[in-house]
Chain A
Amino acid sequence: MSDGTTRTIKVGYLARVEGEGGLTVTVRRGRVEQVRLEIFEPPRFFEALLRGRGFTEAPDITARICGICPIAYQMSAVHAMEDALDVRVEGQLRSLRRLVYCGEWIESHTLHVYMLHAPDFLGYPDAIAMARDHRETVQRGLRLKKAGNAIVALLGGREIHPVNVRVGGFYRVPERAELAPLADELAWARDAALETVRWVARFEFPDFEPDYEFVALRHPDEYPMNEGRIASSAGLDVTAHEYDAHFVEEHVAHSNALQSRLRERGAYLCGPLARYALNAERLSPLAREAARDAGLGPVCRNPFRSIVVRAIEILHACDEALRLIAAYDRPAEPSVDVAPRAATGCAATEAPRGLLYHRYRLATDGTIEDAKIVPPTSQNQKSMEEDLARFVAPRLALPRDELTLRCEQAVRNYDPCISCATHFLQLRIDEG
């Protein structure tokens, strides 16, 4: 590369991320001119699909958006519907929702930490190559993931695209005895999660700390999953009803996913780093101690170290799941009554990858008239592009293959779920 030339680093197909996307970095005269995360997974029309359907159908339809985080979609859907219908779900039903969310965090984070992200740090092209040298470690990862899947399977009715979550609660709630096998495995999983934290904390991380505005839920008593106010490290503190006043989604020509930004300040980051920065003191004592021992500090701005924060969140989720199971007392009814009415409801919950916002407008009979879903990958896409530009600039002298690999690794820091992020868009192609 020399001045006066244009160099394009193109990763045609990103491996080890969910969905189909590509990345183009354009370098001109030795400067990064443009970074484009291209999402070419086809749009999926979910918001249009929801219009005209009954309010009770939203959790089952939106669970189909993602095979990795269906619980997140179900939870945001039921909370938004309950907001519209002025229903509160409390007590053990609320605890069961938190428990099933713990299961999803464990399985989703473990998949990313062990199968997708760790090979980058240990110099392997994929988890299979890594398993040849780290067999017991990969076995631990698979078992840990299954511990999370088992929670989702029991409470959700099945592991993928669960069917037991409904507006107002569940269709069926388990007997206390049914949770006992989960607790036995979770006791092992908690130890395994602690080992995971210690394992990933020893990886080497590049020196890279962007000045993010972090956005996550914040709850007075809990590390947030289902509930809380939408907060940011720059002082934002609003309810889900105020989301649209502060956040805007925009279409960019190179992507089938909409990009979100804060109306006032632009790019922001949601996900594990944001949750941790805004809620570290609400982690379980064991997770707090592990974070301290891992050298995380109260805020972690290095996206490469997100693997450590994910491991901390796996540990917290195991701990929290055990606490919820110990305190479980089967509720008399699996759900509370809900009655349709004309209203608009909003909710945000914490999907493993970050804030997941749903808004529904309902007719008098509960028919969905309008739906809006903003997944975390859409929200992080602008930060990902800005990060890539900053990350690549001082590394332009690297050989092309190595720089391409580093770019792929940098994208994987965000665990992007491209399948979730694709929306219906009206595209106009200029062929002039």
Chain B
Amino acid sequence: MRARVIGLGQAAAGDDGVGLVVLDALRARGVPADIELVRAAEDATLVSLLETCAPVVLVDAVLGTPAGEVLELSPTDLARHGPRAVSTHGLGVPDAVALARTLAPDTVAPSVHVVAVTIERPAGYTQCLSPAVAAAVPRAVERVLGLVGG
């Protein structure tokens, strides 16, 4: 496997689901067979998905202004400087990465990158992305492909 791309988010919370939309867009576009596209529904799953010999790219929403910016961050950036991740329930993304590295230092992914799309705090229940965040999806797709060499 060349890389594992993990989408995070809550599809019913509007822009928070952008990580999942980016994953769907990658799938629709078609990626080489050795690039795995996978959703992480909860924290324990994310921790175990980080155990792989392949580089990992996490795609997630982060709170930030203006909405619709595509950022490339490390988990450490996320932990130290914010913007704050709002996708997982229980453990945050930086916590899950730190936990995976502590629990499985020999088998954790050699690199973990985060492709983050800035969003405003989700206010309601909708399956739709806001226009600004929807417009960011193609750029996020390109950023992921750039990282995994797809």
Residue numbers in A under 8 Å from B10 (CB-CB):
67
Task: Say yes or no for A195: interface residue by CB 8 A criterion.
Answer: no
Q: How far is the CA of A160 from the CA of B103 in the complex (A)?
A: 24
Q: How far is the CA of A142 from the CA of B125 in the complex (A)?
A: 30
How many interface residues does chain A have, given as a range?
20 to 34
Kindly provide the distance from the CB of B103 to the nearest chain A CB, expressed in whole angstroms: 6
A49 contacts B102, CB within 8 Å?
A: no
Residue numbers in B under 8 Å from A138 (CB-CB):
99, 102-103
Q: How far is the CA of A64 from the CA of B10 in the complex (A)?
A: 10
A131 contacts B42, CB within 8 Å?
A: no
Task: Pick out which of these stretches binds chain A: B27-35, B56-64, B90-98, B134-142.
Answer: B90-98
Give chain B's interface secondary structure class.
Answer: helix
Kindly provide the distance from the CB of B59 to the nearest chain A CB, expressed in whole angstroms: 17
Looking at B42, B45, B89, B125, the one whose CB has the most chain A CB atoms below 10 A away is: B42
Q: How far is the CA of A153 from the CA of B98 in the complex (A)?
A: 26
| Chain A residue at minimum C-beta to C-beta distance from B95 | A128
How many interface residues does chain B have, given as a range?
10 to 19
A115 contacts B42, CB within 8 Å?
A: no
Partner of B45, one of A64, A131, A159, A161: A159
Kindly provide the distance from the CB of A185 to the nearest chain B CB, expressed in whole angstroms: 13
Task: Say yes or no for B48: interface residue by CB 8 A criterion.
Answer: yes
Task: Say yes or no for B25: interface residue by CB 8 A criterion.
Answer: no
Q: How far is the CA of A346 from the CA of B114 in the complex (A)?
A: 46
Task: Say yes or no for A428: interface residue by CB 8 A criterion.
Answer: no
A127 contacts B48, CB within 8 Å?
A: no
Residue numbers in A under 8 Å from B102 (CB-CB):
128, 131-132, 135, 138
Task: Say yes or no for B41: interface residue by CB 8 A criterion.
Answer: yes
Kindly provide the distance from the CB of A288 to the nearest chain B CB, expressed in whole angstroms: 28
A128 contacts B12, CB within 8 Å?
A: no
8 A-B residue pairs with Cβ-Cβ distance under 8 Å, sorted by A, are A64-B125, A107-B44, A115-B90, A126-B95, A135-B102, A159-B42, A160-B41, A160-B42
- State the 3 A-B residue pairs at the shortest beta-carbon distance, nearest first: A67-B89, A131-B102, A159-B41
Contacts A115-B90, A153-B41 supplied; 18 other A-B pairs, CB < 8 Å: A18-B89, A64-B125, A67-B42, A67-B89, A68-B89, A68-B90, A111-B44, A127-B91, A128-B95, A128-B98, A128-B99, A131-B102, A138-B102, A139-B103, A142-B47, A142-B48, A149-B45, A159-B45
Interface residues in chain A, defined as those with a beta carbon under 8 Å from any beta carbon in chain B: 18, 49, 64, 67-68, 107, 111, 115, 126-128, 131-132, 135, 138-139, 142, 145-146, 149, 153, 158-161
